[in-house]
Amino acid sequence: MSCRIVIYGVTGSGKTSLGRRLAEALGLHHIELDALYHGPNWTPTPPEDFLAKVRDAIDACPNGWVADGNYGVARGLLLPLADTVVWLRPPWRVSYLRMLRRTFGRMLRGKELWNGNKETLRNMFLDRESLLLWGIQQHGPSQERIGAALQAIEHRAEVFEVRTPRELEALVSRFVSESQPSLGPR
């Protein structure tokens, strides 16, 4: 059974939801890269500090982990260590609608994400780094970057491309069933 899983996918593809779900089902630690990257006031963590945080998170999980996030700077660290990669590839309309629902829901509830950060109307619409604009502009390029990284970075991980909810449920069932101890012959 795999115990080092990396989840990639575009914004709104369900990386963190799947990461939490798999970590809980498999009894592993969940490493959410967004939480390590975004400082107070959405300040990005410098690359070398971010990589140090990722290394520390991995080192704190000797029995395995599930990491989710799309940070190219961390791929060279995570991908060679991973047993399994899950690449979430829903169609643009699906990921964008999920992102809209999630973002507006968080904003309306005033939910804190990481380090005091909250989504607001200002950063959704008026900020030049608007997540909603990012979701429109970066879907295709993000998919291309992930695919290129999976080919360029040396790794031995088994890669699962998941495009539909049915494929996702089948994959989760597979992970869970493989993690259960076998009773063996009676």
**Assigned domain for 156 exists:** yes
Provide the pLDDT for residue 2. Answer: 54
**Burial per residue of 80-90, b for 16 or more beta-carbon CB atoms within 10 angstroms, e otherwise:** eebebbbbbbb
For the chain, the first-to-last Cα distance in angstroms comes to 23
Is residue 105 pLDDT above 80, yes or no? yes
**Assigned domain for 126 exists:** no
Provide the pLDDT for residue 167. Answer: 96
**Assigned domain for 66 exists:** yes
33-42, 104-113, 167-176: which range is least confident on average? 104-113
Average pLDDT over residues 116-144: 78
**Assigned domain for 104 exists:** no
Give the CATH number for residue 46. Answer: 3.40.50.300
**Assigned domain for 185 exists:** no
Distance CA 98, CA 26 (A): 25
**Assigned domain for 85 exists:** yes
Is residue 115 pLDDT above 60, yes or no? yes
How many structural domains does the chain have?
A: 1
pLDDT tens digits for range 41-88: 889 999 999 999 999 999 999 999 999 998 999 999 999 999 999 999
Distance CA 48, CA 59 (A): 16
Q: Give me the domain span that covers residue 19.
A: 4-92+139-179
98-102, 105-109, 123-127, 136-140: which range is least confident on average? 123-127
**Assigned domain for 106 exists:** no
3 state DSSP class of 136 = helix
Ranked by mean pLDDT, which of 106-110, 171-175, 176-180 comes out on top? 171-175
Residue 42 and residue 127 in contact, taking contact as beta carbons nearer than 8 Å:
no
**Assigned domain for 129 exists:** no
Average pLDDT over residues 156-164: 94
Report pTM: 0.87
